[in-house]
A = this chain, B = another copy of it.
Amino acid sequence: MKIAILGGTGSIGEGFALRWAEKHDILLCSREIDKAVKTAEEYTSTLLGKGLLCCGITGCKNETAIGDADLVVLSVPYGGVVPLLKSLKPFFKDQIVISLVVPMKKNKWFEYTPPKQGSAALEIKDHLPESVKVISAYHNISAKKLANLDLNLDYDVVVCGDDEDAKKTVMELTREIKNLHPLDGGGLSSSYMVESLTPFLINLSIRNGLSDLGVKFV
């Protein structure tokens, strides 16, 4: 599968590139092509240095990667996502788009601030062609832990989406990352629940002197 990662040069994008490159072609996206190419080389070195397989991580501009990809991971901050999608809409056809986006602000504590659609995932769906299949997942995975290949993750990942086949594909991709356990979270209308868990987890971490909290349903 060809997986484009928007925001692939920073934060949680790194972890997905490293963890999926064994089985998939990764198109690492950035608005700055030089940065994307350089980061792709770094990630490739990391994998080869660990003796891991690597189908290929290629640095790309957003436009090129989206047109070429079967699946697009949106790992960009909420503030930039709508303008980004407006400029990139013509390059989308019928890809699966995974939204990791969480609208939140910090007052004294972090607070979930959903748009009028009810969640970032539903707003993102509004800004893409109808044939694109939006899936909401991975909001509650620590970027740091995901990028650390020596770490055994042990999280549940709730996957929401209205297209059952696309949801199954993302659940399968989740299983490919050792000890991530996908759970069917229902339709995209349930995305607010997993999105709102993110500021809640950050607040819990701060208040209780913990860090990088994820979630398990037991």
Contacts and interface: CB of A to CB of B under 8 A. Distances in A.
B184 A207 contact: yes
Interface of A: 109, 154-155, 158, 183-186, 190, 193, 196-197, 200-201, 203-204, 207-208, 210, 213-218
Nearest to A213: B217
A217 B207 CA distance: 13
A208 B183 contact: yes
8 contacts: A154-B218, A183-B208, A184-B204, A184-B208, A186-B203, A193-B197, A214-B218, A216-B218
A183 B213 CA distance: 12
Contacts of A197: 193
Given A186-B203, A193-B200, A207-B184, A215 B213 contact: no
- 10 interchain residue pairs of minimum CB distance: A216-B216, A184-B207, A213-B217, A193-B200, A183-B208, A216-B218, A214-B218, A184-B208, A183-B204, A215-B217
Contacts of A207: 183-186
Nearest to A109: B186
Given A183-B208, A208-B183, A218 B215 contact: yes
Given A190-B200, A193-B196, A204-B183, A155 B218 contact: yes
B217 A204 contact: yes
B201 A217 contact: yes
Of residues A185, A204, A215, A218, which shows the largest number of chain B Cβ atoms within 10 Å of its Cβ? A218
A20 B197 CA distance: 30
Contacts of A196: 193, 196
A49 to B, nearest CB: 28
A204 B214 CA distance: 17
B214 A217 contact: yes
